[in-house]
Amino acid sequence: MSTKGRTTQRLDKVLSNLGFGSRAELKKMAKQGSIVVNGTMMKDPGKHVDPYTDIIEFEGETIQYREYVYIMLHKPPGVVSATEDLRDRTVLDLLDKDYLVFEPFPVGRLDKDTEGLLLLTNDGKLAHELLSPRKHIPKTYEAIVEGRVGEEDARLFAAGVTLDDGYATMPAELVIHSHEERDDGVILSRISLTIHEGKFHQVKRMFEAVGKKVVYLKRVSMGELRLDKSLKIGTYRELTEEELALIGRTASL
Ligand code: URA
CATH of the domain at 32: 3.10.290.10
Q: Residue 98: its pLDDT value, please?
A: 83
Which of 217, 220, 222 maximizes ligand 1 atoms within 8 Å of its Cβ, making it the mutation to test the pocket? 217
30, 105: one domain: no
CA of 234 to the centre of ligand 1 (A): 18
Instruction: Confirm or reject: Cβ of 204 under 6 Å from ligand 1.
Output: yes
Instruction: Confirm or reject: Cβ of 110 under 6 Å from ligand 1.
Output: yes
The top-scoring range by mean pLDDT among 11-15, 93-97, 209-213 is 209-213
235, 116: one domain: yes
pLDDT in tens, 53-81: 999 999 999 998 888 999 999 999 999 99
pLDDT of 202 over the 80 cut: yes
82, 187: one domain: no
**CATH (domain of 98):** 3.30.70.580
**CATH (domain of 180):** 3.30.70.1560
Tally the domains of the chain: 3
Between 90-99, 140-149, 165-174, the lowest mean confidence (pLDDT) is in 90-99
**Residue 4 belongs to a domain:** no
CA-CA distance, 165 to 149, in Å (whole number)? 23
Residue 230: how many other CB atoms lie within 10 Å: 8
**Residue 120 belongs to a domain:** yes
Minimal-distance CA residue to ligand 1 atom 2: 201
Written as one letter, the residue type at 247 is I
124, 143: one domain: no
Q: Which of 18, 43, 62 is the last residue of a domain?
A: 62
42, 22: one domain: yes
**Residue 172 belongs to a domain:** yes
pLDDT of 225 over the 70 cut: yes
Task: Note down the domain range covering 84.
Answer: 70-133+228-246
Question: Which ligand 1 atom sits nearest the alpha carbon of residue 198?
Answer: 8
**Residue 1 belongs to a domain:** no
pLDDT of 87 over the 70 cut: yes
> SS3 of 54, please?
coil
Q: Which residues, in sequence order, are CB contacts of 15 under 8 Å at separation 6+? A: 21, 26, 35, 45, 56, 58, 63
Instruction: Confirm or reject: Cβ of 117 under 6 Å from ligand 1.
Output: no
Average pLDDT score over residue span 154-163:
98
* Percentage of the residues of the chain whose pLDDT score is greater than 70: 96
**Residue 253 belongs to a domain:** no
126, 195: one domain: no
CA of 53 to the centre of ligand 1 (A): 43
Active-site residue list: 111
**Residue 152 belongs to a domain:** yes
pLDDT of 2 over the 70 cut: no
Which of 80, 81, 109, 114 maximizes ligand 1 atoms within 8 Å of its Cβ, making it the mutation to test the pocket? 114
143, 211: one domain: yes
Residue 3 — very low, low, confident or very high, per pLDDT cuts 50/70/90? Answer: very low
Q: Residue 1: its pLDDT value, please?
A: 37
Minimal-distance CA residue to ligand 1 atom 4: 201
Residues written for the chain? 253
167, 213: one domain: yes
144, 120: one domain: no
Can you state the percent helix, strand and coil of the chain, rounding each to 5? 20, 30, 50
Q: Residue 252: its pLDDT value, please?
A: 57
52, 176: one domain: no
pLDDT of 250 over the 50 cut: yes
Q: Residue 6: its pLDDT value, please?
A: 62
**Residue 177 belongs to a domain:** yes
Q: Are the beta carbons of 251 and 3 closer than 8 angstroms? A: no
Residue 173 backbone class (left: φ over 0; alpha: ψ -120 to 50; beta: rest):
beta
165, 182: one domain: yes
Average pLDDT of the chain is 94
Average pLDDT score over residue span 103-113:
97
**Residue 2 belongs to a domain:** no
Minimal-distance CA residue to ligand 1 atom 3: 201
144, 203: one domain: yes
C-alpha to C-alpha distances, 197 to 101, 137, 160, nearest whole angstrom: 31, 7, 12
Question: Which ligand 1 atom sits nearest the alpha carbon of residue 139?
Answer: 8
